[in-house]
Chain A
């Protein structure tokens, strides 16, 4: 496979939240690359920092959060911009948001404002990033709604979000995100809030659109099935750290990190010959305010090595085939 050009490179990103309870290290040293047209899955339990990673890329972290370290380089026309250095209210980042990088949010019910029609909210982003009249923007919005499979887009465009079903709202959300043909689409739990029957449709739709429009995709999810459906590469996160990343087929076949192994074992499999018992990871995610020393996973790890894992943070080890892992069980070749 020939490698397409690098689109976004996140290097050692850390985003912390400052509150009265203390400092919450939501993202604490995460690195990954994404190439044009590639689909990356970011997986992990709730609270592991997946969504904050996405919000950091767009610089829309809530006001008590701050990027304290790292670089996020976006490559455009042969030039690179470090998004971390931009003013988060400035003109430059606002042109990237919605234009170069768009985002689909978790809950379409809460993500749309209920007091404007979906047409109003979609044409708004088109007019922000494209030089066109109101009626042209409307035509483009209808076209995009048709493309995401919205029934009767000419009428639906004037509907208020509360009048649509969950699946239709998520389609409208995707249409809004795609309406300016972004180079990168970030989908934060795109199927969590919709019915199981709709989930398959939404995934199918995103897969088709990604292929047709040639855009890169970051899918954030706790559902490994979504990743196996959509992604080329996977990054597993635990307590704000990127514990493992590898091509999707490799990680399902040959997981290295004990956390990834546990995560895969705790997923029920359907079908004949799969009557194995579920094997959940013992313990629960520690409070992010009281992060364990050393490897953050060591208190729950079945392979725990005393005086090593609880003392030293494992460095990132590069294995063969683009497989990276942070674990003391492995050593750099």
Chain B
């Protein structure tokens, strides 16, 4: 098992390298660079543009070097832990990301656990009572959840919350805790605010997971080994959890890998609507202004999360199914 995990971690190194090339290529793909959008912005505000100053800025940030030179310079800096400086914010990228990444992760992790905590029991229920009233009910709710766009759900919940309580459920903290130092009360305050974005971000995933869980379990319940377990005198509940459920979890566990980055994607609209200080709005801004160090770093971090997610799902899979442990 340990050698399996070690092999998986070693394989992440070349993958990250390839990811860095692709990230850089994507950021470079739109024509022009930050200076072009900077000039545009200045022109729009009717300010004078000094071509000499722009050229010297370009030189200072190394924007005039050939693409491959800039790539290796960027990669070399990243390997030393230096993510560069955001041109737009005029701050170190690492600081900008460090301020926001924890909130993104908090929302992602919360909605991840929320999704699994809701989807797995419902999937289990729906499969063992196929075509029952409860099954139809959850299927209906599930499809509504799948079909509702996140931002719409966010708006609806905001509105209902306002009507019901008179408060606006925006941000991650109440005003009095916004700049207060960390305390238990502040943590509780965070939890009070976190459920809303977690719910909004997690709904679509939850609905999908219910369908996957239900379909897998229905398949497994028909297998001969279930009848064998029954013939041994096991009770229905124990049997369900020990045999078919463990196998049915297999595809669910495989999806952990891409759940992490999709959650970051998913939080974008919710964050814009709910006014949350997370990565996604920062990332959109960076792409719009061609703030390449910031955008590149975010892409790299999201890719890193994908790899970590894949590693986690591989470990869970290997734990669930011994046949996987021998494979690379």
Contacts and interface: CB of A to CB of B under 8 A. Distances in A.
Contacts of B230: 58, 60, 97
B247 A115 contact: yes
Nearest to A160: B322
Interface in A98-129: 98-99, 102-103, 105-107, 110-116, 124-125, 128-129
A125 B233 CA distance: 7
Interface in A26-80: 55, 58, 60, 62
Given A105-B227, A105-B228, A107-B224, A115 B233 contact: no
A72 to B, nearest CB: 15
Interface in B226-253: 227-236, 242-243, 246-247
Contacts of A128: 232-234
A95 interface: yes
B143 interface: no
Contact of B322 (A60, A105, A115): A115
Contacts of B233: 94-99, 125, 128-129
A94 B236 CA distance: 10
Contacts of B322: 114-115, 160
B247 A89 contact: no
B225 A125 contact: no
A162 interface: yes
Given A105-B224, A107-B224, A124 B236 contact: no
Interface in B103-156: none
B320 interface: yes
B128 to A, nearest CB: 10
Interface in A155-175: 160, 162
B321 interface: yes
Interface residues of A, number: 30
A58 B231 contact: yes
A94 B230 CA distance: 8
Contacts of B321: 114-115
Nearest to B246: A115
B263 to A, nearest CB: 29
Contact of B223 (A55, A58, A96, A110): A110
A15 to B, nearest CB: 15
Nearest to A122: B232
A99 B234 CA distance: 11
Nearest to B224: A110
A105 B229 CA distance: 11
A60 B232 CA distance: 10
A96 to B, nearest CB: 8
Nearest to B226: A113
> From DSSP, what is the main secondary structure of chain B's interface residues?
helix
B231 A98 contact: yes
B232 A124 contact: yes
B323 interface: yes
B250 to A, nearest CB: 9
Contacts of B232: 97-98, 102, 124-125, 128, 176
A112 B234 contact: no
Interface in B144-203: none
Nearest to A101: B231
A94 B235 contact: yes
Contacts of A60: 227, 230-231
Given A89-B235, A94-B234, A97-B231, A111 B224 contact: yes
A124 B235 CA distance: 12
Contact of B323 (A58, A111, A114): A114
A124 B234 contact: yes
A113 B229 contact: yes
Contacts of B243: 113
A27 B219 CA distance: 25
Nearest to A109: B224
Contacts of B231: 58, 60, 97-98, 102-103, 105
Contacts of B223: 110
A110 B232 CA distance: 15
B244 to A, nearest CB: 9
B225 A162 contact: no
A112 B231 CA distance: 12
Interface string A135-164: 000000000000000000000000010100
Nearest to B227: A60
Interface string A256-291: 000000000000000000000000000000000000
Contacts of B247: 113, 115
Interface in B38-72: none
A112 B228 contact: yes
A73 B278 CA distance: 69
Given A113-B247, A128-B234, 6 more contacts: A55-B227, A60-B227, A62-B227, A94-B234, A97-B232, A102-B232
The 10 residue pairs across chains A and B that have the minimum distance between CB atoms: A98-B233, A98-B232, A97-B233, A110-B224, A94-B233, A125-B232, A113-B225, A111-B228, A103-B231, A60-B230
5 contacts: A55-B227, A94-B235, A98-B232, A113-B247, A124-B234
